[in-house]
Structure 1
Amino acid sequence: MEKVKILLAEDHLVVRNGIKLLLDTQQTFQVIADVNNGKQVLDLLDSGVETDIVLTDIGMLEMDGMQLIQELAERYPQIKVIVLTMLDCEQYVTRAFESGAKGYLIKNVGAEEMIFCIKHVSNGGRYLCEELSMSFVEKAIVKNNVQPIVSNPVDFDLSEREQEVLNLLGEGYTNQEIAKMLFISKRTVEGHRQNLIEKTKAKNTPALIKFAVLMGLIR
C-alpha cells in the first residue's frame, strides 16, 4: 500500500518532533521532511520534493501558514493542506478554508483524531476538528435562541385587523386605547385579542406578546 507523504511545517522544535514521532508510528504515513516555516516548504517543493499533505501551523516567521496555503493553492493545487494550530477563532478557520485548506485542527486534538483527519483529507475529504465543530454549533444554537424566527401573519391565519391589534398590544396600548386608535369598539378589540390568543395557542396576553416577538410577528 502506497504511503501518504506528509511535509510538516512547525516553528517550535519540541512540538514538531512530537508530531513527527506520532506520524512515524503509522505504517501508512511517511514524513518526508519537517521545517520551520512556509518559505522552507516552498523551497523544498521547488527543488523537486513531492508530498501529498502539508501539515502546517499558522503563526510562523518568514512565511506564515495562511500565506503558505495561498501559495500552495496557486502553485501546487494537487497538494492538500491541513492546519494544525492553537488559533481557534472563526475568522482563522474561515480564512483557512477560503484560501484552500482541506483540514483544520487545534493542537490539543487527540492522536486518533489527527490520524483520522489526515487519512480523510488524503482520500479527498475535508475536516474540521470536533472541538471547533461543536463550538460553532453551540454558538449557532444560542444565536438562534436569541434571534426571532421571521414568520408571516398568514401562517397563523391572522387577518389584517388582528395584525394591527397585535402590533398595538406589543407597543403596550390598552384595549380602550386601541379601540380609539382603530375607531372600533372596546368589545371588538377584546374579540380580536381573544382570537389572537386562540390562533397562537398562547395562555394569555403576555404570553401572546412573547410568542409574537419570538416568531417575528412584531418587533
Structure 2
Amino acid sequence: MERIQVLLADDERLLRAGVRLVLRHAEDIEVAAEAEDGGQAVEMACRLGVDVVLMDIRMPGMDGLAALDQIVAKAPAVHVVMLTTFGEHDYIARALRAGAAGFILKDTGPQELIQAVRAAAHGGAILSPRITREIINEYLHGDEGRTAEARRLVGTLTDREREVLVMIGLGASNADAARRLYMGEGTVKTYVSRILSKLGCANRVQAAIIAHDAGVLPV
C-alpha cells in the first residue's frame, strides 16, 4: 500500500508531536519530514515531493503564506493545508485565494485530521465547517467586480458542470457528488477537472470560492 507522505511545518514542537502521534494511527499516512519555518517547508516540499503539507499560517522568518506562494509556484502537485486558530480569518482568506487546499483548526479532532489529510491528498477541499460560512460571508463575498467576474466564469459552464460546481461549493467529495447527481464517480472526476480548467482554478477550494461569489449555492 502506497502511503500518503506528509510534511509538518510548525514552529511549535508540541503541536508537531501531537499531530505526528495522531497520524501514526493511520496506516496509509506517513510523516515524511518536519519543518520549523516557512523556508524549510518550501525546501523540503520541493525536494521530497510530499503529497500534503500541514503548515502553520504564522511562523518565524518566512511565514506560512509566503511559503504557500512558493510551494504553489514550485511544486504545484503538493497539496498545502493551512493550520490555524479560530479568528485568523484574514490570513485564511488570503491562503485560500493563493491556492491552499484548505484549512483546519489546530484543535481539530484526531479522526477529522486524518480524514482531512486523506481528502487533501486526493484533491479534496478542506474547509473546517466551524468557520467556513463566517469566512465566506465576511471575506470571500467580494465587491461587485469580483461577483461579476465569478458569474461570467460560471456562465461558461454547461448545466451539468454547474451542478457539479455546486457540489464542489458544498464541500462534497467525488463519491458524494456522484451519489447525489446519479453519476459515476469517474465521470464526476472528469467534470471536476474540466470545471477547474474552465474557471482557471488551481484546486477545488478556489472553485468553491467562485461558486460562492457567483451566488449559485443554496442558502
Same fold, TM-score > 0.5, yes or no: yes
1: CA distance, partners of 2:24 / 2:101: 21
Pick 1 or 2: higher relative contact order, CA cutoff 8 A, min separation 6. Answer: 2
The alpha-carbon deviation at position 44 of structure 1 amounts to 2.4
TM-score, length-scaled by structure 2: 0.59
2: CA distance, partners of 1:128 / 1:88: 15
Residues 40-81 of structure 1: CA distance to partner in whole angstroms, max 9, x if unpaired? 1223245x3220001000110111100011001111111000
SS of residue matched to 1:21: helix
SS of residue matched to 1:105: strand
Unaligned ranges ≥5, structure 1: 141-219
**Corresponding residue pairs, total:** 139
2: CA distance, partners of 1:68 / 1:87: 21
Q: Does 1:41 align with 2:41?
A: yes
Residues 142-191 of structure 1: CA distance to partner in whole angstroms, max 9, x if unpaired? xxxxxxxxxxxxxxxxxxxxxxxxxxxxxxxxxxxxxxxxxxxxxxxxxx
Counterpart in the other structure of 1:6: 6
Percent identity of paired positions between Structure 1 and Structure 2: 29
2: CA distance, partners of 1:35 / 1:3: 20
Amino acid at match of 1:75: K
1: CA distance, partners of 2:39 / 2:105: 22
SS of residue matched to 1:63: coil
Amino acid at match of 2:129: E
Are the counterparts in 2 of residues 88 and 106 from structure 1 also a CA contact under 8 Å? no
User: Structure 1 25/93 Cα, relative in aligned 2: closer, same or farther at 3 Å?
Assistant: same
Are the counterparts in 2 of residues 80 and 122 from structure 1 also a CA contact under 8 Å? yes
CA RMSD of superposed structures (Å): 2.0
User: Structure 1 120/45 Cα, relative in aligned 2: closer, same or farther at 3 Å?
Assistant: closer
2: CA distance, partners of 1:137 / 1:74: 25
1: CA distance, partners of 2:87 / 2:125: 17
Counterpart in the other structure of 1:58: 57
Pair member with larger Rg: 1
Amino acid at match of 2:70: E
Are the counterparts in 2 of residues 113 and 129 from structure 1 also a CA contact under 8 Å? no
Unaligned ranges ≥5, structure 2: 140-219
